[in-house]
Amino acid sequence: MSAVPEKIVQLRDAFGVGREVPLNYVARADVDGKFVESLTRDKHVVIYGSSKQGKTTLRKHCLSDDDYIVVSCVNTMSLVDLNGAILKAAGYRIEQSQTKTVNGAWKYGLEFAGEGRVPFVAKAGAKGTVGRENSEKLDVVSSRLEIDLADVNDVITALKEAGFNKLIILEDFHYLSVEIQKSFSFSLKAFHENSPFCFIVVGVWREKNRLIYYNGDLTSRVVSIDADVWSEQQLREVVTAGEHLLNVSFDAEVVNNLIRHSADAVALVQEGCFKICEKAGISETQSVQKDIGTGLDAEAIVREIVNDQAGRYSAFIANFAEGFTQTELEMYKWLIFAVLTSSVEDLESGLRRQQISTIIKASHPEGARLNEGNITQALQGAASLQVQKNIRPIIFDYDQTTRVLTVVDRSFLIWLAHQNRDDLLAEIGIEPESVGAS
């Protein structure tokens, strides 16, 4: 018989996916250790991986709240908006002034309102979505510091003037347009060379060197942390830690099957354990250890969790197939076709561009006449299309360096494995009997 627990823990705090660091958090030496070590090297850090694999939890666990500021990226941000959001998070108040620049854009005053040096007011003369253009010309007003929100050097100057000394975290970097991601990759080089400021960029993708692909000058200036990989042993440690918190013991066979059918997704293991506890009537730490889970179908539990998102996945397939606009070639519909006609095993390892081309040309009305450039262009726009369609988190991502399309939502693969593919094809207007007829 186990000892009486020292602390009563609620089920939602022991298992499941929440906003805070879970009490059963398991540190991974190859992830947490590398992340902590990288912070001492004065380099920017990129944390990448599939959705719900612990990217945000990693930095929350390893850093104190006072160590950083956070900017959540959204798809409508321009470079000016992003820089403005960074300055706001650093303690500045940005307001439109009563004057305009010589080219007619509204100026913006920056007033530092946080801790640091003596507050000052500066005029930001930047064009962008935060400004309103007008052809009327007014006198230029000089000030102590003239700052252009589109100029990384001015942003650096403003942060230095405020005595800013924290890490800057950019969450959901993948939601920014590709153009803004590329532009900011050049800003990161300037931050590294001309300032003491370091960024932690968090994004949903599977390629190690995405920012280096955008800007080769970031080589040796960026450390990449892959938060995606969870070994079977590490997933078992997550389960064991939760068992200790709740003073319960899961049936060994149920745990084995749960991990086997969770596609190495820590979020599914967490939610699966939550469901097992619910079915056993466990809502908090037990005064006496309790054995639970015997005879439960772990695979069915995983399907139950995944099926909660069935509506989202069905809508995703339909919306993605529509593309940005109606076009004659309907390339995004045929990209979905390539995914829906591929095995789960192939999707897990990623579809190479040449594989996708072969699959599409075998069934597309244009057949072998279809231009490779059309396929490549559609692949490169896959992430942007999902952002525009408000698909969050994104499900597909295309690595332009390795030319591989990957599924970055592991639950989607489990859901897809239990669907009738012919029905899904019919929903996007491709009848199975017509495939290959060209």
CA distances from 320 to 93, 100, 314, 395, 396 (A): 39, 42, 10, 10, 10
Question: The tokens 């994104």 sit on which residue?
Answer: 394
Looking at the fold, whether 82 and 15 belong to one and the same domain comes out as: no
Residue 366 backbone class (left: φ over 0; alpha: ψ -120 to 50; beta: rest) = alpha
pLDDT for 96:
56
Whole-angstrom distance, CA of residue 23 vs CA of residue 241: 8
* Nearest-angstrom CA–CA distance, 68 and 60: 10
Report how far residue 239's alpha carbon sits from residue 15's, in angstroms, rounded to the nearest whole number.
8
Backbone angles phi, psi at 112, to 5 degrees: -80, 125
- CA–CA separation, 24 vs 260, rounded Å? 20
Residue 289 lies in a domain: yes
The least confident of 38-52, 81-95, 317-331 is: 81-95
* Structure tokens, 99: 């004057």
The pLDDT of residue 142 is 30
> Are 211 and 85 members of one domain?
yes
The percentage of residues in the chain with a pLDDT greater than 70, rounded to a whole number, is 86
325 contact partners, CB below 8 Å, separation of at least 6: none
Q: Are residues 49 and 19 in the same domain?
A: no
Domain boundary among 266, 281, 307: 307
Residues 254 and 203 in one domain: no
Provide the pLDDT confidence category of residue 436 given band limits of 50, 70 and 90: low
Same domain assignment for residues 134 and 278: no
The total number of structural domains in the chain stands at 4
Would you say residue 297 lies in a domain? yes
Q: Which residue has the tokens 């897990």?
A: 348
Mean pLDDT of all residues in the chain? 88
Report the pLDDT value the prediction gives residue 122, as an integer from 0 to 100: 41
Residue 432: its H or E element: none
pLDDT at residue 433 in the model: 62
* CA–CA dist 138, 250 (Å, integer): 73
- Model confidence at 63: pLDDT above 90: yes
Q: Which two tokens stand for residue 429?
A: 């207007």
Interatomic CA distance for residues 301 and 261, integer angstroms: 10
Residues 182-186: what's their mean pLDDT? 96
Whether pLDDT at 296 is above 60 = yes
Determine the Cα–Cα distance for residues 112 and 83; give it in Å rounded to an integer.
Answer: 15
Does the pLDDT at position 8 exceed 90? Answer: yes
d(CA 227, CA 208): 11
The pLDDT assigned to 94 comes to 75
Q: Look at residue 193 and tell me if it is in a domain.
A: yes
Q: Does one domain contain both 68 and 192?
A: yes
* pLDDT score for 111: 73
Cα separation, 266 vs 287, whole angstroms? 28
Half-sphere exposure in the Cβ direction for 369 (13 Å, CA): 4
Angle between helices 298-307 and 410-417 (to 10 degrees): 110
pLDDT for res 401: 84
* Angle, in degrees to the nearest 10, between helices 353-361 and 372-380: 120
User: Which domain does 110 fall in, by range?
Assistant: 94-147
Q: Which two tokens stand for residue 130?
A: 């935060």
Least trusted range by pLDDT, from 104-113, 270-279, 306-315 = 104-113
End-of-domain residue from the set 307, 329, 351: 307
* pLDDT tier for residue 131 given thresholds of 50, 70 and 90: very low
- Residue 44: which CATH number? 3.40.50.300
Same domain, 198 and 72: yes
**How far is C-alpha 117 from the geometric centre of its chain's CA atoms?**
35
Do 348 and 419 lie in one domain? The reply is yes
Mean pLDDT along residues 289-315: 96
What's the whole-number mean pLDDT along residues 197-220?
A: 94
The residue among 83, 31, 72, 61 whose CA lies nearest residue 197 is 83
Residue with tokens 């003073």: 247
Q: What separation in angstroms does the CA of 412 have from each of 111, 130, 267, 327, 395?
A: 46, 37, 13, 27, 7
Pairing of β 146-147 and β 167-171: unpaired
CB proximity list for 239: less than 8 A, separation 6 or greater = 250, 255, 258, 259, 269, 273
Q: In this predicted model, which residue has the larger pLDDT, 130 or 197?
A: 197
User: How many other CB atoms are found less than 10 A from the CB of residue 369?
Assistant: 9
Residue 365 in any domain: the answer is: yes
| pLDDT the model gives residue 112 | 73
Q: Does position 276 have pLDDT exceeding 60, yes or no?
A: yes
State residue 93's pLDDT score.
Answer: 81
End-of-domain residue from the set 282, 307, 332? 307
| Confidence at residue 58, expressed as pLDDT on a 0 to 100 scale | 96
Q: Would you say residue 159 lies in a domain? A: no
Q: What is the pLDDT of residues 91-115, one digit of tens each?
A: 988 765 555 555 555 556 677 755 5
Q: Assess whether 86 and 218 both reside in one domain.
A: yes
pLDDT beyond 70 at 140: no
Mean pLDDT for the stretch of residues 60-79: 95
Residues 342 and 365 in one domain: yes
Domain membership of residue 161 (yes or no) is: no
DSSP letter assigned to residue 201: E
Give the whole-angstrom CA distance, residue 248 versus residue 31: 28
Is the domain of 188 the same as that of 81? yes
**Token pair listed for 350:** 């990623």
What is the value of pTM for the model shown? 0.86
Helix ranges, 229-371 (H): 232-246, 252-260, 266-279, 298-307, 310-322, 331-340, 344-349, 353-361
pLDDT, average across residues 392-403: 91
Q: What does the pLDDT average to over 143-152?
A: 70
What is the rounded CA–CA span in Å between residue 305 and residue 381?
A: 30
Residue 288 in any domain: the answer is: yes
Residue 154 domain flag:
no
245, 380: one domain? no
- Give residue-wise pLDDT tens across range 379-389: 999 999 999 99
> Model confidence over 20-45: pLDDT tens digits?
899 999 999 999 999 999 998 999 99
